[in-house]
Amino acid sequence: MFPAPVEQLIVELSKLPGIGRRSAQRITFFLLRRSRDDAAALAEAIIALKDKIHFCAQCFNFTDEELCGFCRDARRDSSLICVVEEPSDIIPIEKGGEYRGLYHVLGGALSPLDGVDPEHLRIRELVARVDAGGVTEVIMATNPNTTGESTSMYIADLLRGQVKVTRLASGLPVGADLEYADEATVSRAMLGRREL
Amino acid sequence: MPRDYSTDAIVLGSHKLGDADRVVTLFTAARGKVPTVVKGVRKIKSRFGGRLEPFTQLQVQLHEGRNLHTLTGADTVKTHAVIRDDPAALRAALGFIEMLGRATPDFEKLPRSYNLLVNYLLEMDAAALSVRSARAETGKSGQSENELRGNTFGNAAGRDLSASESRFVIITLGAELKLLLLAGFLPHLADCAICGSSGSLPRFSAEIGGALCENCGGESFRVQAETLVAMRGLLETPLAEAGSSDIDERTAREVWRCVREICRYHLGTDLKIEPW
């Protein structure tokens, strides 16, 4: 239906998360109306992303240098390590503004059904960071689902006795009505209640 | 048939779909295994989130689609959270869920398999609860607690099973054998699959059809007599009593090997999760 270059771009854009063929068509025709410079800037940005971004040598967050901005920042508390599944999980924690320690990105969560075992995650590297000394607390911030909880329990068992291991609290989301909460979340919230 | 329907269901597992959705595999009483889209479930304020963890028993409202059904409502019947909280129970139960998922086709009503799953989860729930109570009573903590509940996900070989782990494994093996029976894959266990002799049966072959005498051996592996006795016992024993069966670890591992070989031959796939 479309000339080959148009069809090719639609196909490529359709591979992006949340972009169906209809959205890909809209983006393609939007780009057709823009100048060549705009299109080149977008293409160059994508190539630069792939060429320059790699994993931080210490925490495995994305970075364009050897260490990421968090690991390079001397003002952050290096005795705290917050363990997350993916680099995108760091964003809400940073936006929260309560945490000033370092991170460790596992690259997923243990899931035997999907064939993800401990050796597929960066657990060995986390243990090495703790073994190197200077860490007083490891905060498990994996997702509050079965795979995330299993991963947290597995790592807590590995690090037990070496360092304090804590887990992010589970409970009711701020701004929600209790009436609509599911039973599992309410149970967790009740177990994790705190004194006022 | 109406396109909207209600049924009892148990969550087998899920995978991500798009930015905030999931495809959850439900094992339903009305239509067997149903891959179901749940929109927005990964968002913090989703009303479904905590209800769709593996093993949760639900009363669901579904809308029938072409390939996937869509979840429109869910009420919890039983969370079975205690199974998820115990690593040894979790691993064993995931093993059974994997086998059930592979042995059953989508959209085929299988009421006996559904009942087996319900009963299996109730027994695992009771076993995990008793382990938790025992742990609370002994007041053990740290490494000792790990010994009680075992560690999960790898490194199991070469490690002695704790009592609680053995119980989870034996209940799971019992349920897996019963599932093979329901799926029509049950091998010969009391007589030779080739010649019918009921004497000594020291070998086993999933391909040939089960236990074999020494003369009919062929392409097979060696099994102890206790393994066949254990398999017959687990098949005849209600799940509620399977946990107290006296089966040692070596025998349990041989039973598991037979189950895995049967699945490999009939389903053409390897089970990924060992129950310990």
- Percent of chain B past pLDDT 70, that is, above it, reads 91
Do A160 and B146 make contact, defined as CB atoms within 8 angstroms?
A: yes
Report the distance separating Cα B94 and Cα B96, nearest Å: 5
Report the distance separating Cα B123 and Cα B127, nearest Å: 6
Q: Model confidence over B109-130: pLDDT tens digits?
A: 999 999 999 999 999 999 999 8
Do B250 and B159 share a domain, yes or no?
yes
Q: Per the domain annotation, does B273 fall within a domain?
A: no
Last residue of a domain, one of B13, B46, B79: B79
Q: How many CB pairs under 8 A join A and B?
A: 77
pLDDT value of position B151: 44
* B154 part of contact set with chain A, CB < 8 Å: yes
**pLDDT beyond 80 at B149:** no
Q: Per the domain annotation, does B274 fall within a domain?
A: no
Higher pLDDT, B261 or A191: B261
Q: Per the domain annotation, does B28 fall within a domain?
A: yes
ipTM of the complex as predicted: 0.73
Give the bridge partners for A83, in sequence order: A104, A140
Collapse the DSSP code of B144 into the 3-class scheme (helix H, G, I; strand E, B; otherwise coil) and give the result: helix
Low-confidence ranges of chain A (pLDDT < 50): none
pLDDT value of position B161: 58
Which pairs from A147-151 meet CB under 8 Å and 24+ separation? A147/A109, A147/A110, A147/A111, A147/A116, A148/A85, A148/A109, A149/B84, A149/B85, A150/A109, A150/A110, A150/B87, A150/B90, A150/B152, A150/B153, A151/A85, A151/A106, A151/A109, A151/A110, A151/A121
Q: Per the domain annotation, does B103 fall within a domain?
A: yes
Do B55 and B150 share a domain, yes or no?
no
Which pairs from A63-71 meet CB under 8 Å and 24+ separation? A70/A102, A70/A103, A71/A102
pLDDT value of position B2: 63
- B46 vs chain A: nearest CA distance in angstroms? 9
Do B94 and B189 share a domain, yes or no?
yes
- Percent of chain B past pLDDT 90, that is, above it, reads 62
Q: Per the domain annotation, does B275 fall within a domain?
A: no
Q: Per the domain annotation, does B147 fall within a domain?
A: yes
Do B185 and B228 share a domain, yes or no?
yes
- Alpha helices for chain B (secondary structure H): 81-85, 87-103, 111-138, 142-149, 163-183, 225-236, 239-242, 249-267
Report the distance separating Cα A159 and Cα B145, nearest Å: 14
Report the distance separating Cα B152 and Cα B86, nearest Å: 9
pLDDT value of position B153: 43
pLDDT value of position A187: 84
In the chain, the amino acid numbered B82 is V
| B18, B146, B151 ranked by CB distance to A18: nearest | B18
| A117, A118, A182 ranked by CB distance to B49: nearest | A182
Do A113 and B13 make contact, defined as CB atoms within 8 angstroms?
A: yes
Whether B157 and B118 have beta carbons less than 8 Å apart is answered as no
Do B89 and B42 share a domain, yes or no?
no
**pLDDT beyond 50 at B147:** no
pLDDT value of position B139: 65
Last residue of a domain, one of B79, B107, B122: B79
How large is the angle between the packed helices B163-183 and B87-103, nearest 10 degrees? 10
**pLDDT beyond 90 at B7:** yes
Collapse the DSSP code of A63 into the 3-class scheme (helix H, G, I; strand E, B; otherwise coil) and give the result: strand
Q: Considering only CB atoms, which chain B residues are within 8 Å of A150? A: 87, 90, 152-153
Give the model's confidence band at B32: pLDDT under 50 very low, under 70 low, under 90 confident, else very high. Answer: very high
Report the distance separating Cα A28 and Cα B258, nearest Å: 56
- Percent of chain A past pLDDT 70, that is, above it, reads 100
One DSSP character per residue, B53-87 reads STT-EEEEEEE--SSSEEEEEEEEEE--HHHHHSH
Collapse the DSSP code of B94 into the 3-class scheme (helix H, G, I; strand E, B; otherwise coil) and give the result: helix
Identify the domain containing residue B29 by its residue range: 4-79
| A17, A117, A149 ranked by CB distance to B18: nearest | A17
Do B89 and B190 share a domain, yes or no?
yes
Do B49 and B124 share a domain, yes or no?
no
Do B127 and B53 share a domain, yes or no?
no
Report the distance separating Cα B55 and Cα A52, nearest Å: 43
A107 conformational bin, left if phi > 0, alpha if psi -120 to 50, beta if neither: left
Q: Model confidence over B176-224: pLDDT tens digits?
A: 999 999 999 999 999 999 998 888 899 999 999 999 998 887 788 999 9
CATH code, domain with B221: 1.20.1440.120
One DSSP character per residue, B100-125 reads HHHHS-BT---HHHHHHHHHHHHHHH
pLDDT value of position B152: 43
Last residue of a domain, one of B50, B79, B108: B79
Do A112 and B94 make contact, defined as CB atoms within 8 angstroms?
A: yes
Do B149 and B87 share a domain, yes or no?
yes
Q: What angle do CA A76, A62, B39 make, to 5 degrees?
A: 105
Do B69 and B56 share a domain, yes or no?
yes
| A154, A176, A184 ranked by CB distance to B50: nearest | A184
Do B27 and B125 share a domain, yes or no?
no
Q: Per the domain annotation, does B276 fall within a domain?
A: no
Do B66 and B103 share a domain, yes or no?
no
Report the distance separating Cα B67 and Cα B64, nearest Å: 8
Q: Which of A19, A91, A111, A153 to mutate: most B Cβ within 10 Å?
A: A153
Q: Model confidence over B33-68: pLDDT tens digits?
A: 999 999 988 888 787 878 899 999 999 999 999 889
For chain A, the C-alpha Rg in angstroms (whole number) is: 21
Overall average pLDDT of the B145-151 stretch: 44
What are the strands of the beta sheet with A101-105, ordered from one edge?
A101-105, A77-84, A137-140, A164-167
Weakest-pLDDT range from A3-12, A110-119, B141-150, B245-254: B141-150
Domains contained in chain B, number: 2
DSSP type of residue B256: H
pLDDT value of position B179: 96
Q: Which of B43, B94, B149 to mutate: most A Cβ within 10 Å?
A: B94
For chain B, the C-alpha Rg in angstroms (whole number) is: 20
CATH code, domain with B9: 2.40.50.140
Residue of A nearest to B79 (CA): A184
Report the distance separating Cα B276 and Cα B261, nearest Å: 17
pLDDT value of position B1: 56
* B272 part of contact set with chain A, CB < 8 Å: yes
| A115, A146, A175 ranked by CB distance to B53: nearest | A146
Do A118 and B154 make contact, defined as CB atoms within 8 angstroms?
A: yes
Q: What is the mean pLDDT of chain B?
A: 87
Q: Per the domain annotation, does B163 fall within a domain?
A: yes
